[in-house]
Structure 1
Amino acid sequence: MAATKLASLAKSSAVMTAGTLVSRILGFVKAMLLATAIGVTVGGAADAFDIANKVPNNLYMLLAGGVLNAVLVPQIVRATRRTDGGRDFTNRLLTLTVTLLFAVTVVATLCAPLLVRLYSTSAWSPEQTALAVAFAYWCLPQIFFYGLYTMLGQVLNAKSSFGPYMWAPVLNNVVSIAGLLVFIAVFGTGQQGEHAVGTWDAGKIALLAGSATLGVMCQALVLIWPLKRIGFTYRPTFGFRGFGLSTAGRVAGWTFAAVLVGQLGYIVTSQVASTASSTTGEPSASNAAYSLAYLMFMLPHSLVAVSLATALFTSLSTYAADDDVDSVRSSLALGTRLVGLVNVFATVAFIALAGPAAMVIGGGSQEQARSIAPVIVTMVIGLVPFSANYLLQRVFYAYEDARTPFWIQVPQVVLTAAGVLAAGFLLPKPLIVAGIGLAMSCGYLLACFLSAVLLRRRIGHLGTGQILLAHAKFAVAGGLSCAAGFGLLRWAGPEAWDGRLPALLTVAWIGLAMLGLYLAVCWVLRVSELRAALETVRRVLKR
């Protein structure tokens, strides 16, 4: 039974994982080029652009992202059982969403100065704040296109067309990379502070921030073609009362409240991280370094947890609508174990190779890479509970329950914010963002525990014994692999990762050695998820 479900999941998520992998690789290339263009760890233009480019992401997540992800798929799955296949309901839901997205984007763009001040710190100079505001005017229209991308993608997912949603960000990264290459060719690099705050004019700002927004626009609009291929035709339909949208509105309201609480916590994180920005030119991990570390943290989560959760969400919504609790429970348990298998290795690999990995993405000197490495380590500690909680939340949403995730979010954010503030007050400036990463990991662990306890009350047992046993085996294999990674890196010496190319080669060969040992130990420990996965791969290759 498990092998059959695994084969089904593999088939559904393979294309998504491939698209996500290509997108993430290009995302790392984009991050490397951005670091080359304007730097990473030294305060100034890098932090100004980082804040401006994160504001639309954060506002989108606050006002639409979590709401769309929680609402659209379950609602569309249930609507397909209507006589018209849910077409009228879907058109009205999309019309309402597009209207709200457009209004929010216009208001947010007009409020760019206020938003920049909200996410930055008063310690910034007036010139740095003005530069961030100029970037924000170019970046804030991304809110609408991020929302459009998510909305169209979730319609595709509800129709079991998963690939385009995961491949569309590839186009975004290609466009952004092209913009960065043109920027470097025209204006040069910023590794030695050439692009100080006072050197930015309208042309430089428009090229850097405009190409970032153009990429998001292309990411959204490219989904129109696959929607037409599956026969979906959207017609704007107004009139939102009396058509069954009340449940969607209730779920959206609770989801919005949960994301609002999360964003309030992030404002604290952003402001505390801004205080770590160096004003003397010394390497110091601040907002830009936080974003780079978070990019690495999200790589394994996006490759495995998001792909599996996307493939599972449609079936989970169907099982929940049919009140098939056994199928919900078994699908969740299998998904959690598979994600854990990958994430435990990713955790130990990033811990052992944090320095070289930071060098590959951030460039610069080893001193700069070492200032980023602790952020990567403390952040990645929370990867396993973060992804597990992501899957648990999808079960609540499949049951149209967004209230419980909200009440889980509240203590998580309180704990994280308290840890972030403590890091800002108690730690020296170079370690503040590393302390933020540790606070985030503690928050993820608390949220995962609360989600598991509350979900168990709803659907009975979760297969917790099997999940914990599997993760114990993963931990043994991961511990041995991590020790081997540290030993190999010490044997290679610092000169083995002095520069981006040597660091990339070092990460590659040590990472492969760690992976081989990890898989070998898992095989000896009879990890059933690994054996089932290898059997699935063998069958695919045989066909």
Structure 2
Amino acid sequence: MSRMLRASAIMAAGTMVSRVTGFVRTMVLAYAIGTAALGDSYNAAYAIPYSILDLLLLGVLSSVVVPMIVRAQHQDPDGGRAYEQRLLTISTVALVVVAAVAVLAAPLLIDLYTVWAPGSKRFEVGVTLARFILPQLAFFGVGAVAGAILNTRDRYGAPMWAPVLNNLVVICVFLAYVVVGSGGGDIDKVTDGDLALLGLGTTAGIVAQAAVLIVALKRVGFSFVPRLDVWNARLGEMTKTGIWTIGYVVVTQLGFMLTVNLASSAGDVVPGHGISPYTLAFQLFQLPYGVIGVSVITAMLPRMSRAVAEERFDDVRAEFGSSVRMICALMVPVSLLLMVLGPAITVPIYGHGANSVADAVYIGNVLQVYGLALVPFSVFQLLLRVFYSFGDTRTPVFVGAGTTAVNAGLMVLFYSLLPARYAVMGLALAYAIAYALGGVTAWWLASRRVQGLGGWTIGMALTRMYLGALPTAVLALAAVWVVTTAFDGLGFVNSLIVLGVGGGMGLLLYLAIAHRMRIPEVNSIVGMVARRVGR
């Protein structure tokens, strides 16, 4: 527990700064180009490289590459160094080719991800931005492989801190656009020079992020020697294991493609209620998971893989149970606060410049619905790592396919039933329901794999956490009611008051109650923070 806390704390600190600067980044984005037509075009172009990376690399990294690197470090005479060099070489060459092809195929990609007619202003602007943004595929992929190698050496700091530099670069780019750009948030006035600044500036951030990770690799003694001896890269083993992971990512990306298409359709009917609100709300929803969940999972997977390799299944169960309780100790109150304080969170962040307060409130409404999904989504991701630690990448495909199918069906249902102004909120609700059902299925299958996951113990721990968090939710609701009644709505200052009382004091109230209830994970976190402050 203490070792996981220390490793998770290092990563959480870096991720927290990364997410805070990410907040500033999205704030400046909304201020500069808004959430209407130009914002939708940018966010559609920005989403495509991440979807391609998920298909080709990022899903395989967590499920296949990390366990294979760990095995190479244990089994190869050179500690896996040659294998790591081959992996980095092959991924670099492959991703440069993919990036070049993607740039050429930008019109097709925009057509796949939106309902915009070719030749329309949104479509053409999206294609132009995509051509400037898609080259980041090569740099992002190389950085991801470098981060995976660092993680297997228990070096978590650089992969968590490198995105901070990316955010700072892009923040400067959008501020420069505000100063020198001629289009503002008006898609009809934006020039090719404005689009080049936005697109190339976004790519420059990823280049800086990759450079930090390469430097970090050199500092841990990794010497990069290009190796093109593909026959020694164990690609057959990787393909055999990774084909199922790629299948899982394909399925989830088909679901994402449907989501973006439905959101873009809603945005055509009601400007400001399309892709941008979905994207910005989803980024905020991912913040708690990114700070807390990813940090714990990144530290957990290599240790769980080692425990499986050594057939220490009791340690696998213990590692999983400890991870779930540690994540949920903070996710539970945060999820309730998101459901209550959504608009109060988004108005100070997005209610400026090219974006109106009403647009920001709608983003907050979407975030409120996403709050329902926070705990189920986090537990679902932990459960997938149980299968990955066993080298089982097939089961997550079927679980993911079922979850995505349910999500897709619910999205289409809610989109057809709800007015366009509520369509994106319906997409968020479908996401929450699908991951709750997917989590139940994944739990049942994972429990069979390891002869039990300690469900009763984890269930009782979660019940106590929710009971401890209820007063926090009540305090947040009271803060919203008092401020909106007294000051007639949520403005910038009013939202800060609500966040200070309902969010800040609410979390302190939860920590105090959880401490009195002797919830061990909260006590460990409080104790660690107290020791840090006392030094």
- Tell whether 2:15 aligns with 1:20: yes
Give the Cα–Cα distance (whole angstroms) in 2 for the partners of residues 109 and 56 of structure 1: 10
Q: Match of 1:338?
A: 326
- Tell whether 2:296 aligns with 1:303: no
Q: Match of 1:128?
A: 122
Q: Match of 2:507?
A: 515
Question: How far 1:540 moved relative to its partner?
Answer: 4.5
Question: How far 1:217 moved relative to its partner?
Answer: 1.0
Give the Cα–Cα distance (whole angstroms) in 1 for the partners of residues 369 and 494 of structure 2: 25
Q: Match of 1:33?
A: 28
Give the Cα–Cα distance (whole angstroms) in 1 for the partners of residues 85 and 473 of structure 2: 51
- Tell whether 2:388 aligns with 1:397: yes
Structure 1 runs of 4+ aligned residues shifted over 6 Å read: none
Q: Match of 2:217?
A: 227
Deviates more, 1:366-375 or 1:19-28: 366-375
Q: Match of 2:498?
A: 506
Deviates more, 1:513-522 or 1:423-432: 513-522
- Inter-CA distance 394–367: structure 2 relative to 1 (3 Å threshold): same
One-letter identity of the residue aligned with 1:127: K
Q: Match of 2:256?
A: 266
- Inter-CA distance 31–293: structure 2 relative to 1 (3 Å threshold): same
Q: Match of 1:93?
A: 87
Deviates more, 1:117-126 or 1:217-226: 117-126
Give the Cα–Cα distance (whole angstroms) in 1 for the partners of residues 107 and 479 of structure 2: 49
TM-score (norm 2): 0.95
Q: Tell me if structure 2 keeps the 8 A contact 1:276–1:433.
A: yes
Q: Tell me if structure 1 keeps the 8 A contact 2:40–2:275.
A: yes
| Identity within the alignment, % | 33
Q: Tell me if structure 1 keeps the 8 A contact 2:252–2:404.
A: yes
Q: Extract unaligned runs of 5+ from structure 2.
A: none
What are the Cα deviations for residues 9-60 of structure 1, in whole angstroms up to 9, with x where unaligned? Answer: 12112221111111111111111111111112x3x11111110111111111
Q: Match of 2:443?
A: 452
Question: How far 1:267 moved relative to its partner?
Answer: 1.0
Matches within 5 A, 1:316-331: 316-331=304-319
Deviates more, 1:98-107 or 1:451-460: 98-107
Question: How far 1:421 moved relative to its partner?
Answer: 0.7
Give the Cα–Cα distance (whole angstroms) in 1 for the partners of residues 262 and 425 of structure 2: 12
Give the Cα–Cα distance (whole angstroms) in 2 for the partners of residues 343 and 490 of structure 1: 24
Deviates more, 1:524-533 or 1:336-345: 524-533
Matches within 5 A, 1:128-527: 128-187=122-181, 190=184, 195-241=185-231, 244-278=234-268, 284-363=272-351, 364-493=355-484, 495=487, 498-527=490-519
One-letter identity of the residue aligned with 2:63: A
One-letter identity of the residue aligned with 1:251: T
Question: How far 1:68 moved relative to its partner?
Answer: 2.0
Give the Cα–Cα distance (whole angstroms) in 1 for the partners of residues 363 and 82 of structure 2: 51
Give the Cα–Cα distance (whole angstroms) in 2 for the partners of residues 493 and 104 of structure 1: 51
- Tell whether 2:37 aligns with 1:47: no
One-letter identity of the residue aligned with 2:225: R
Question: How far 1:94 moved relative to its partner?
Answer: 2.2
TM-score (norm 1): 0.94
Structure 2 counterpart SS, 1:199: coil
Matches within 5 A, 1:60-79: 60-79=53-72
Q: Tell me if structure 2 keeps the 8 A contact 1:497–1:504.
A: no
What are the Cα deviations for residues 342-382 of structure 1, in whole angstroms up to 9, with x where unaligned? Answer: 11111111111111112122214442233223211111211
Question: How far 1:131 moved relative to its partner?
Answer: 0.7
Q: Extract unaligned runs of 5+ from structure 1.
A: none
One-letter identity of the residue aligned with 2:110: V
- Inter-CA distance 409–71: structure 2 relative to 1 (3 Å threshold): same
Q: Tell me if structure 2 keeps the 8 A contact 1:142–1:216.
A: yes
Q: Tell me if structure 2 keeps the 8 A contact 1:496–1:503.
A: no
Give the Cα–Cα distance (whole angstroms) in 2 for the partners of residues 242 and 261 of structure 1: 30
Give the Cα–Cα distance (whole angstroms) in 2 for the partners of residues 411 and 486 of structure 1: 36
Give the Cα–Cα distance (whole angstroms) in 2 for the partners of residues 71 and 105 of structure 1: 22
What are the Cα deviations for residues 196-229 of structure 1, in whole angstroms up to 9, with x where unaligned? Answer: 2221211100111111110011111111111111
